[in-house]
Structure 1
Amino acid sequence: MSMTPKNPTLPAPSTVMVWEEFIQITGVHPERLQELLALGWIEARGSAVQQYLFRDTDIYRVRKLERICCDFELPVLGGTIIVDLLERIDALERSVRSFKSFED
């Protein structure tokens, strides 16, 4: 619980970012990002000024992908499969933990 008082006059922080900001934060090469978009592994929304808008949750996924591809010298397709499988394993482990909490 946050001890900071809420200020209703301040806007909520954005959960999306533009192409340039996403590339700067993730360190991913623009061609790699274009490839991920073409594969449908990352979905970007369009803005009124025809810019891609990325979710901040994709930062972690892309960084993990880059690390795995670099460490194991994998092509991007192989890395996306591994990241997807790791995310599924994580979701299954969370489900198992929640079921176990019902048994106790």
Structure 2
Amino acid sequence: MTVHYLPVRRPPTAGPQRRLSREEFCRRSGVHPELLRRFVALGLVQAVRDPGGELRFPPGQLADVARIERLRRGLGLNYAAIGLVCELLDRIQELERQLRERSS
């Protein structure tokens, strides 16, 4: 069995960041708008509302959607379980980072 390591969420960067519209995010990620809405509702993808009430997405979320889709296809998990797996993967990354800092 081949193990594929998944990318982890990037920490927020300092300063303002360009955010993508829902349409642009869907086009770039290949995700249907209704599925993206579901990801937001489940907390798998973070979005903010602009002054006009439209959802905007940080470009870094594109990597998160790709990871979600890999977990769905590769492991056959439902989206609720994927949320838990992503949290655990992020926590593992954070613990590994702390370990590296302590050993330096």
Question: What TM-score bracket applies, with the shorter chain setting the length?
Answer: 0.7 to 0.9
Q: For 1:19-30, list aligned pairs within 5 A.
A: 19-30=22-33
Matches within 5 A, 1:1-104: 14-101=17-104
Q: Distance in 2 between matches of 1:47 and 1:13?
A: 14
What SS does the aligned partner of 1:48 have? coil
Count residues with an aligned counterpart. 90
Larger radius of gyration: 1
* C-alpha distance in 2 between matches for 1:94 and 1:58: 21
d(CA) in 2 for partners of 1:47 and 1:25?
20
| Higher deviation after alignment, 13-22 or 73-82 | 13-22
How much has 1:14 moved relative to structure 2? 4.2
Structure 1: distance between partners of 2:49 and 2:16 = 19
Unmatched tracts of structure 1, length 5 or more:
1-11
Contact residue 44 and residue 54 of structure 1 kept, 8 A: yes
Name the TM-score, length of structure 1 as normaliser: 0.76
Identity, in percent, stands at 31
Greater length-normalized contact order (CA 8 Å, ≥ 6 residues apart): 2
- Structure 2 segments unaligned to the other structure (5+ residues): 1-14
1:53 partner SS: strand
Deviations 1:29-70 (A, max 9, x none): 222211111122322111122211111121111110111111
